[in-house]
Structure 1
Amino acid sequence: MTKATWTRIAAPDLTRSSQSVSVVGPHVYIFGGEIQPREPVDNAVHVVDIATGAYNKIDADSAPTPRVGHTAAVIGNTIYVFSGRGGPEMTPIDEGGAVHAFDTSTKTWQTLTPADPSAPYPAARSYHCSTATPTAVIVHAGCGDAATGRLNDVWSFSPATRAWTKLPDAPGAPRGGATIAHAAGKLYRFGGFNGTTEVGGAIDVLALDAGEWSSLVFGEQEGLSREAVGDLTKGAAAGPGHRSVSGLHSVGDDKLVLLFGEGKPSITGGHDAAGNFWDDVWAYSPATDTWSEVEAGQGPAARGWFASDS
C-alpha cells in the first residue's frame, strides 16, 4: 500500500462547494462556488498562502460573472476558467466559447474570445472537468442545456491563438462529474455520473499525439444508482470504487492520485442534496497500469462536489 501524509493548511474557513481551486507557485486561488444550492456565492478570487495560511481576497475588475460547476486550469502564472452554471435561471453560461484568464502576477482578468467566431467551440456546460498541457486547456464532458444533455466530448483551447480544437470523443456514456488529468502527453479520465449510476471500473486514456483512446478495465463500469439500497462498499482490490465529482491529479509523470467523490447519487441526482461520499485516496501508475490504495492517516472528511489541484 502506498503511504502519504495529510497536512492541514492554517487558513480561515471558506465554506462552499462546486468551486474551483488552482495552485500557482506558493498560493491557492479559489473562485466561484455556492453555499446555498444553486446560488453562486461571489466572483472574487480568494487567495491562500500554502505555507502560512495567510488569506487575501481579490475583487478585480472584469471578473467573470458569479458561477458554480465551472472549471479552472493553470498554464504558467495564469488560471483559465471555462463556462459553469449561473444567471437568474442557473443555466449553463454560454459565452460564445470565451475563456476567462486570471493573471496571478498582475491580479487582473482578461476574457479570451475565439479569434474566429465562426469556428466550432464547446457547448456551454457545468460540472465538466478540465486540465492543462504546457500550451493548452483541455475541457471534457459535463452537463449542457436541455438540448445537449450530458456530454462526452473533448476540446483543446490554445490561449496563444485563441482557437478551439475538437479532440476524439471519450468512450462510454455521456456524463457529468468526471475528472481528468494530463501527464506525459496523455489525458487520463476517471468516473462520472451518467444520469442513472455512478461510473467507474476503468481508467480511460487519450494519447494526445495519436488521437486514440484506450481503457484499462478493472471491474464493472456501472455503480450505484440513487435507488440502490445500502452503503458504499470498497471496489475490487484492483482499483477504486465507482464515483463522480472526485479529483484526479498527476504527481510528476509517473503517478496519478484519485481522491474522494460521490459513490452513491443523492436522491435528487443533483448537488442540492448530499449523496454518499468516499474518504479514500488511490494512486495509479501509468507505467504498470496498476492501482494502489493510499494509506494517509487522518485527513479530510469524506466529500464530493469539492475542488482540488496539485
Structure 2
Amino acid sequence: MAEVAAGVIAAEQVVSTTIEGGAIAGYAIAKDTMPLKATITQIARAQEDDNNSLALRRSNHTLSVIGKKAYIFGGEIADKELAPNDVHSITLPSSHDEKADYACYPSLPSEEGGEVPASRTGHAACTRDNQIIISGGRDSTGTDIEEDSSLWLWDSSELKWQKLRPNPTSTSSPTPAPGPRHNHSIFPHNGNIVLHGGKSSSGDAMSDTWLFKSSAKSWLQLPSAPAGSTTNAVLADNTLYTITGSSAVSSEVHFLRLTPESTATEWQTVEFPTNPLTPGPLPRVGAGLVSVTTGYGRLYLLYFFGERNGTVTTTSASASASPKSGEKAADPPLYSDIWSLQLPSLSPVPDPHGSTLSSFTPKPAALKDRIRRKLGYEDGGMTWAEVGIEAGEQVAHAGKVHPGPRAWFGADVLEGGRGVVVWGGLNAKGEREGDGWVVRVE
C-alpha cells in the first residue's frame, strides 16, 4: 500500500508542478480533444463471379482484424440465402498505392472427423491472439442456431476450426448458460470471453451479460444491463459499454466496469439528448460501435452509420429512401454520420516489468484531464461530438470517396486502435454492398 500511496502522491505533485511552473504549454492543456477528424479510404471492392461462391457482397456478417489482415465470415448474400462457411482474408494495404491482397479458406476441422461451424448470419465474433472466436447466429430460416452455448475458434495460423464446448452439467442441476441468440456481441477479457445482449429467434430483446471462463470451460452470469436490448456493445478499458435509444430526443450509454479478475460491479447509466440543439447521435440499429485511440491513453467510442428503426432490410425497401412528392422529408432510413464519445481516463499505464509503483502511474491523457479540471476547463469525458470526415486516396482503383449510408456491415478496429475497417452491409436501397473501407482517426 505504501507504493500505491507514493504513486498517487507523485502524480498529484506532477499536476501541481505543471500548473504552477508552466512546464506544459497552456495551449496544449486548453486545446479541446474533440471533435475528432477522420480520413476515409476505400481499400477494395469485390468482383462477382459466375457461381457467386467468392462474392463478398453480404450483410449481417462479421469482420475480424488480426495484425494486418481482415477476416470475413458468414452473413447473407441474398434474402434468406446464407454465404458459404468459408473464411475470406483481405490483407490491409499500408499505403495508397498498395493493393489489398485477397484469399479464401475453406472450413476445415482441427482434427480428423471434427466439426466446423455451419453457415450463419447475425452471429458475433471477436479475436484473441491469433484466433477468431464465433458465437451464435441464425440459419437460413431465421431460427437461432442451437449449439449448447458453445464457441467456435478459428486459428489464423493453422487455418482450422475447433469447437469449444462448455463442460457438461447434470440434468438435475444444469449450469446456467446464455443459450442461442443473434445480433449479440462478444469480447476477449483477460483470457476469458464476455458475451452481451442480442435477440432471440422470436425477436425478444436480451440484455443479459455472461462470462465464459476459459480455464473452467463454463459460463458465469454477470449483471444484466438496466434497459432493453442493444445490438451494439463494446469493451474498452475494462468497461463494457452499450447504447440504447429510449425516445426520439433522448438516448443512454450504459456501462459495466469489470475487474482484472473478470468480476463485475453494477451497471451505470448516462443519458444524453438527441435533438438539434445538443450534439449527439440519433438512435439506430445495425450500426458500428468500436473503441479507438488517438494515443497517450486517450480513448473514444466510435459510433457510426446504422439504420433508423429497422426501416431498410431488403431491396423492397428502396422506395423508403426518399419521400413522395408533396411529403415532408423525414429522417433518412440509413445514416452516414460518425460520432465519437470521449471516455474517462480510468486505467493506469500497463507496467511491462510488474512494478507496483509504476503500475499506478497515470496515463498522459488522465494527467492532462486533471490539469484541465484544476484550470477550470471541462475534461470532455462522456461527451459526444460528430467526427469531421475527410476523403482519403483510393487504393488500386477509382471508387467512391465515402461508403455512404449503410447498416448491418462487418467492422473491427485496426491494429493499434487508431481506426476501423468496414466491409459490406445494406445500403439505403436495401442492396448488399461488397466494398471495404478504412476509417482512420486523429
Normalization by structure 1: what TM-score?
Answer: 0.85
SS in 2 for 1:92: coil
* CA distances 1:272-305 after superposition (whole Å, capped 9, x unpaired): 7657111011111112111111011342111111
1:230 — aligned with what?
none
1:53 — aligned with what?
100
2:337 — aligned with what?
280
- The alignment status of 1:44 with 2:86, answered yes or no, reads yes
Equivalent of 2:198 in 139, 142, 162: 142
Distance 1:16 1:10 in 2: 14
* CA distances 1:173-226 after superposition (whole Å, capped 9, x unpaired): 2x25x211111110111237x9xx889612111112342111110126xxxxxx
* CA distances 1:129-184 after superposition (whole Å, capped 9, x unpaired): 223324222222212134x82211111223343221111111112x25x2111111
1:65 — aligned with what?
118
Distance 1:236 1:172 in 2: 25
SS in 1 for 2:43: coil
Distance 1:286 1:41, change over 3 A: same
- The alignment status of 1:133 with 2:133, answered yes or no, reads no
2:139 — aligned with what?
86
2:161 — aligned with what?
109
CA contact (8 A) 2:142 2:201 kept: no
CA contact (8 A) 1:2 1:295 kept: yes
Distance 1:133 1:49, change over 3 A: same
Distance 2:248 2:178 in 1: 24
CA contact (8 A) 1:198 1:264 kept: no
Letter aligned with residue 221 of structure 2: K
1:7 — aligned with what?
41
Letter aligned with residue 292 of structure 1: A
Distance 1:102 1:78 in 2: 5
Question: 1:180-259 residue pairs with structure 2 within 5 A?
Answer: 180-191=233-244, 201-209=251-259, 210-219=264-273, 237-252=278-293, 254-259=299-304
Distance 1:243 1:129, change over 3 A: same
**Which structure 1 residue ranges, 4+ long, deviate > 6 Å from structure 2?**
197-200
CA contact (8 A) 1:72 1:79 kept: yes
SS in 1 for 2:161: strand
CA contact (8 A) 2:64 2:71 kept: yes
- The alignment status of 1:20 with 2:62, answered yes or no, reads yes
- Deviates most, 41-50 or 112-121: 112-121
Letter aligned with residue 210 of structure 2: W
Letter aligned with residue 406 of structure 2: R
The structure with the largest strand share of the pair is 1
Measure how far apart 1:263 and its partner are: 1.9
Structure 2: tracts of 5 or more residues without a match: 1-34, 48-55, 94-98, 110-115, 321-332, 345-380, 392-401, 414-442
CA contact (8 A) 2:72 2:88 kept: yes
Measure how far apart 1:271 and its partner are: 6.1
Measure how far apart 1:255 and its partner are: 1.5
The alignment-based identity, stated in percent, is 31
Letter aligned with residue 303 of structure 2: L
CA contact (8 A) 1:84 1:92 kept: yes
Letter aligned with residue 305 of structure 1: W
Greater relative contact order (CA < 8 Å, ≥ 6 in sequence): 2
- Deviates most, 6-15 or 38-47: 6-15
**How many positions carry a matched residue from both structures?**
288
CA contact (8 A) 1:11 1:53 kept: no
Distance 1:258 1:200, change over 3 A: farther
Structure 1: tracts of 5 or more residues without a match: 221-233
Distance 1:42 1:167, change over 3 A: same
Distance 1:281 1:218, change over 3 A: same
Distance 1:49 1:259 in 2: 23
- The alignment status of 1:153 with 2:175, answered yes or no, reads no
- Deviates most, 62-71 or 135-144: 135-144
Distance 1:20 1:32, change over 3 A: same
Measure how far apart 1:238 and its partner are: 3.2
1:261 — aligned with what?
306
Distance 1:71 1:179, change over 3 A: same
CA contact (8 A) 2:249 2:273 kept: no
1:228 — aligned with what?
none
Measure how far apart 1:32 and its partner are: 0.2
Distance 1:93 1:261 in 2: 25
- The alignment status of 1:99 with 2:151, answered yes or no, reads yes
The structure with the largest helix share of the pair is 2
1:300 — aligned with what?
403
Distance 1:83 1:235, change over 3 A: farther
2:360 — aligned with what?
none
Letter aligned with residue 119 of structure 1: T
Larger radius of gyration: 2
Distance 2:223 2:403 in 1: 36
Letter aligned with residue 37 of structure 1: D
Normalization by structure 2: what TM-score?
Answer: 0.61
Distance 2:254 2:166 in 1: 29
